Amino acid sequence: MKIIGITGGIGSGKSVVCAIFRTLGVPVYDADQEAKKLYDKYPELLEKIKTEVSDEVFDRNGKLDKKKMAEIVFSDTEKLKLLNSFVHPVVRKDFLKWSSLQSDQAYVLKEAAILFESGAYKDCDQIITVVSPVDLRIQRVRERDRKSRTDVEKIIENQWNDQERVKKSDFIITNDEQEMLIPQVLAIHDQLMKEYKRIQENKKD
């Protein structure tokens, strides 16, 4: 089974692309969404955030305010790096556990916005990057999350740009609302399935 990483900046449309892969029967691990769930599973993460990032990200009931935390870390590069150093090893452990249960699949997808920045790409056999014009990405996020342009730009500044991602990727999907997504996904899926079948045939020989 191959592990295929799929990445792209905020607002690039990774989730839409992954939804298409899911309709093809491909298991997808959404690292960003799973990370949010892991805060509740691992109390030690919350303690590290409180003592080493900021105790201001907790409400009066002691519950983590993820919106407040995002505002703080995306305005402070060092705190963002610190938070990532806590979270990503836990996400990696959870992903490896999940992927071990998918061994009958030809490939699985690991979706992560900062796949390269976190070093998570090292666990992947190949990488797909979803690219999209920055202005379009900002527009999508502002409409989706009701964020200001400044807030979105802060997040983008803390992520690799498309040129950097493309250099390290095996497949590129363009999501600019001009090129159709489904044919691009199908082309990648067909190539990966052909490679899988070829490997299976070689094993028989």
Q: Summarize pLDDT for 165-193 with one digit per residue, the tens.
A: 999 999 999 999 999 999 999 999 999 99
pTM exceeds 0.75, yes or no: yes
The C-alpha atoms of residue 116 and residue 110 are separated, in whole angstroms, by 12
Q: Summarize pLDDT for 49-103 with one digit per residue, the tens.
A: 888 888 888 888 888 888 888 888 888 888 888 888 888 899 999 999 999 999 8
Based on DSSP, count helices (H) and strands (E) in the chain, helices before strands. 9, 5
What single-letter amino acid sits at 178? Q
The C-alpha atoms of residue 53 and residue 61 are separated, in whole angstroms, by 18
The set of residues, in sequence order, having a beta carbon less than 8 Å from that of 123 and lying 6+ positions away, is 3, 5, 92, 95, 96, 110
- With both helix axes pointing from N to C terminus, report the angle between 31-41 and 77-99 in degrees, rounded to the nearest 10: 90
The C-alpha atoms of residue 18 and residue 72 are separated, in whole angstroms, by 29
Domains within the chain, CATH numbers bracketed: 2-204 (3.40.50.300)
